[in-house]
């Protein structure tokens, strides 16, 4: 049984005292990742991922910007012939830009489908999920990959004691928790058999295990997702399940967090930035792809871009 007490967890991004250790980890990871990069270069030259090459169905939520866009571009370079990449998000314009970048960088013919929708609206799920998986015959694919990347931080100006509106909370959990569960169920309904190699990735955060001031909603949504996917890994041994913490990324989401009104948090991110600890989403997306390619993770594990923890 994994207990939080037993795991050696480096403090999350907001804990200033860990910064030196994060720098050390990052340097160590950079050296360690050199070998991985070599492997990655070899793979990139053949254009195919070792694990999810030809005939892969891949859905990425929140594909209109940030990490979702980077994941789409990184994956596209690895998906082989007969693959399909489905990107969802609220912004059609954003999705179209992602598609443009995907097609620009992708050496192989890849079908890219865009589906706009808002995960906050639970009544729209049936139509949204139908669109994501429309014309998907499991027999057409050898691999199926579901990446739950879409997420929001919630109102970071509020402390836990100030979250008094249940409708706001209900919407938050719809977007960040319910949608993920229901979409996973749909994914598994479309790909019910182990003839297709199925992988589900939960884009998580250190916030799932480390309480962060002003982030009650974000912490709770991520904690719930992590546990949910651990149970999934127990129940579905034929499915590869990974919770991945991408680290502090230079995205719109980080800007929201940085302007939450808490001076300590602002100071910490400023300090991290000055030490070069804010990552590009491309870097984190590559690391995630490497983890998937190496395929060594224990199903249900919670891994981090800095390799700080493995739960």
Partner 1 sequence: MALSESVQNSSVLGKPTLCVITGASRGLGRSLSVELSGRLGEGSRLVLTARSLSGLEQTQALVVNKTTSVSVKLVCGDLEDSDKYQDFFRELFSDVTPGVFQHALLIHNASTLGDVSKRVVEHCDAEVLQKYYTVNVTSVITLTARFLQVFPSSDMTRTVVNITSSAGFTPIKTNSLYCSGKAARDIVFKVLAEESPEVRVLSFSPGAMDTEMFDYYRTHVGDPEVRALLCQQAEDGKLLKPDFSAQKLVQILVENSYKSGAILDVLDRFEH
Residues that bind partner 1 (CB under 8 A): 1-5, 122, 125, 159-167, 169-170, 173-174, 177-179, 181-182, 184-186, 188-189, 208-209, 211-216, 219-221, 223-228, 230-236, 300
| Burial annotation 24-34 (CB, 10 A radius, 16+ → b, else e) | ebbeebeeebe
Q: What are phi and psi of 111, to 5 degrees?
A: -80, 125
Nearer of residues 2 and 259 to partner 1, judged by Cβ: 2
DSSP-derived pairing of the beta strands 111-116 and 197-203: unpaired
- Please tell me the distance from the alpha carbon of residue 210 to that of residue 152, in angstroms, as a whole number: 17
- Least distance between partner 1 and beta carbon 131 (Å): 16
Nearer of residues 173 and 297 to partner 1, judged by Cβ: 173
Nearer of residues 44 and 169 to partner 1, judged by Cβ: 169
- Please tell me the distance from the alpha carbon of residue 157 to that of residue 176, in angstroms, as a whole number: 18
Q: Which residues, 6+ apart, have CB-to-CB distance to 258 below 8 Å?
A: 265, 266, 269
DSSP-derived pairing of the beta strands 197-203 and 56-60: unpaired
DSSP-based three-state secondary structure for 241: strand
- Least distance between partner 1 and beta carbon 229 (Å): 8
- Least distance between partner 1 and beta carbon 261 (Å): 13
- Least distance between partner 1 and beta carbon 308 (Å): 18
Shortest CA distance to 304 belongs to which of 177, 203, 153? 203
Nearer of residues 69 and 268 to partner 1, judged by Cβ: 268
| Burial annotation 124-160 (CB, 10 A radius, 16+ → b, else e) | ebeebbeebbeebebeebbbbbbbbbbbbbbbbebee
- Least distance between partner 1 and beta carbon 189 (Å): 7
Nearer of residues 99 and 214 to partner 1, judged by Cβ: 214
Nearer of residues 209 and 305 to partner 1, judged by Cβ: 209
Nearer of residues 72 and 177 to partner 1, judged by Cβ: 177
Nearer of residues 50 and 174 to partner 1, judged by Cβ: 174
- Least distance between partner 1 and beta carbon 262 (Å): 9
- Least distance between partner 1 and beta carbon 148 (Å): 13
What percentage of the chain's residues is helix, strand, coil (to nearest 5)?
50, 15, 35
**C-alpha separations of 60 from 139, 174, 285, 306 in Å:** 21, 18, 12, 22
DSSP-based three-state secondary structure for 279: strand
- Least distance between partner 1 and beta carbon 245 (Å): 14
301 forms bridges with which residues in the sheet? Answer: 242
């Amino acid at each position: 049984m994994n207990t939080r007490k037993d795991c050696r967890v480096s403090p999350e991004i907001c804990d200033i005292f860990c910064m030196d250790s994060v720098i050390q980890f990052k340097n160590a990871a950079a050296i360690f990742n050199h070998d991985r990069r070599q492997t990655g270069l070899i793979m990139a030259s053949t254009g195919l991922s070792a694990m999810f090459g030809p005939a892969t169905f891949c859905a990425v939520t929140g594909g209109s910007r940030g990490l979702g866009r980077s994941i789409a571009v990184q994956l596209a370079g690895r998906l082989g012939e007969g693959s399909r990449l489905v990107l969802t998000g609220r912004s059609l314009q954003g999705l179209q830009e992602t598609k443009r970048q995907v097609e620009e960088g992708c050496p192989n013919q890849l079908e890219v489908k865009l589906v706009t929708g808002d995960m906050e609206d639970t009544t729209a799920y049936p139509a949204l999920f139908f669109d994501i998986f429309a014309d998907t015959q499991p027999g057409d694919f050898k691999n199926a990959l579901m990446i739950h990347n879409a997420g929001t931080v919630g109102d970071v100006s509020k402390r836990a004691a100030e979250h008094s509106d249940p409708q706001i909370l209900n919407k938050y959990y719809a977007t960040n928790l319910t949608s993920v569960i229901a979409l996973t169920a749909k994914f598994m309904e479309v790909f019910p058999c182990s003839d297709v190699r199925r992988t589900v990735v939960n884009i998580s955060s250190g916030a799932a295990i480390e309480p962060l001031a002003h982030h009650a909603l974000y912490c709770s949504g991520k904690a719930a997702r992590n546990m949910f996917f651990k149970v999934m890994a127990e129940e579905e041994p034929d499915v590869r399940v990974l919770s991945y913490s991408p680290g502090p990324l230079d995205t719109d989401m980080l800007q929201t967090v940085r302007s939450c009104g808490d001076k300590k948090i602002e100071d910490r991110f400023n300090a991290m930035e000055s030490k070069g600890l804010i990552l590009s989403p491309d870097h984190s997306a590559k690391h995630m792809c490497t983890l998937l390619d190496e395929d060594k993770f224990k199903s249900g594990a919670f891994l981090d871009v800095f390799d700080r923890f493995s739960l």
